[in-house]
Structure 1
Amino acid sequence: MGVTTATHEFKSSIPAPRMYKALLEDSPTLFPKIMPQYKSKVVQGDGGVGSILETCFPDEGNQVKIVKHKVEAQDPANYYAKYTVIEGSPLSDNIESVVNERKIEPAGDGCVVKATDHYHTKGGAADKAMIDAIGKQTTTVYKLVQDYLLANPGACCA
């Protein structure tokens, strides 16, 4: 078994507390407002640690179509979250599991969203093209969230 790690960064003009709330606390209710074609729901739990969330990304061209993930850690004070993909299209014959870490760091008046994904493979290396496509899809979602927050200054305020 091997591990392939990919890191993607997104610089935003949104302050870290607000971006954390939008991306890592309110996503099941916020994402469908921003992207009506996306469906997100809490399948088990209250959305906190131990909960299982399901998100569907039905757009044609998306590498990931559906994903269920378990929330492993949430640290709002440090703008950090960790979750494990337990079911869905990122998993394949070669990918056994994916552990996602999100760290949002304050940067001036805005923030930097750091996404680190650990692809645990059953054999060889993970497909780089797939990892790049997932990274692009992830940063596209961050951009859409940022645009929504800029247009809706009262949304996701702590």
Structure 2
Amino acid sequence: MKGSKVHEHEADVPASDLWAIYGTLRAAELLPELLPHVLAKVEVVSGDGGVGTILQLTFPPGLPGLESYKEKFTKVDDESYIKEAQAIDGDILKLGFLSYMVRFEVIAKGPDSSVIRTTVEYEIDDAHPELEAMVSIAPLAATAEKFSEYAKEKKVITQAAS
């Protein structure tokens, strides 16, 4: 069974400022710092943030059946501001997901506004339909909100220092 879930977050931050986080390994550094209840640790296994980069994501204790998994960047488009990461190993696949991919799109709405569209696409083994309830866009929505706040705050600090 295939499915997808989408979330959009409007931000009063330029798309280029958000992409400076989403399109780089800065996102991996910020996630455990800004959202420790979502991800306890993110380690770069290999790569420089481009296509082929592999990350090890470790969840905080208390999520049944989910300790960690590895994802690989399969698309990093610096012109269209799109990044895709595919689960390649770990607990998500062991639970019965046949595939699990997250797409981040940063869409410019104006010079100082944008939309972060996050999509989770997944395929579940037909023997485990209950897994669909585990697919949650909420952590990615919280990430979009925190990254927007961080980018806005950083810009204010940079402008104040100039």
Q: Which residue of structure 2 aligns with residue 11 of structure 1?
A: 10
When the two structures are aligned, how many residues end up with a matched partner?
Answer: 151
Segments of 5+ residues of structure 1 without an aligned counterpart are none
TM-score, normalised relative to structure 1: 0.80
Alpha-carbon spacing, 1:94–1:31, altered in 2? closer, same or farther (3 Å): closer
Structure 1 residues 39 and 120, CA gap change in structure 2 (3 angstroms): same
What is the DSSP-based 3-state SS (H/G/I as helix, E as strand, rest coil) of the residue aligned with 2:79? helix
Shift of 1:61: 6.4
Distance verdict in 2 for CA 1:74–1:29, change over 3 Å: same
1-side partners of 2:98 and 2:18: how far apart?
A: 30
For 1:36 and 1:56, the matched residues in 2 are separated by: 10
Cα offset, 1:36, TM superposition? 5.8
Q: Structure 1 residues 106 and 5 mapped into 2: Cα distance closer, same or farther (>3 Å)?
A: same
The aligned runs of 1:37-76 (5 Å cut-off) are 38-58=40-60, 60=62, 65-76=67-78
Shift in CA distance, 149/57, structure 1 to aligned 2, threshold 3 Å: farther
Q: Which 4+ residue blocks in structure 1 deviate beyond 4 angstroms? A: 59-65
Q: For 1:110, which of 106, 109, 113 is the aligned residue?
A: 113
Give TM-score, length-normalised by structure 2: 0.78
Q: Give unmatched runs, 5+ long, in structure 2.
A: none
Which residue type is aligned with residue 4 of structure 2? T
**Distance in 2 separating the partners of 1:92 and 1:11:** 34
Alpha-carbon shift at residue 90 of structure 1 (Å): 3.3
Q: Which has the larger radius of gyration?
A: 2
Q: Deviations over 1:20-52 (max 9, x none)?
A: 221231212333443467322210122211110
Greater shift in the superposed pair: 74-83 or 46-55: 46-55
Distance 1:140 1:34 in 2: 10
- % identical aligned pairs: 24
The 5 A counterparts of 1:1-158 are 2-25=1-24, 26-35=26-35, 38-58=40-60, 60=62, 65-108=67-110, 109-123=112-126, 125=129, 127-131=131-135, 134-153=136-155, 154=158
1:50·1:71 contact (CA, 8 Å) conserved in 2? yes
Across the aligned residues of Structure 1 and Structure 2, the Cα RMSD in angstroms comes to 2.5
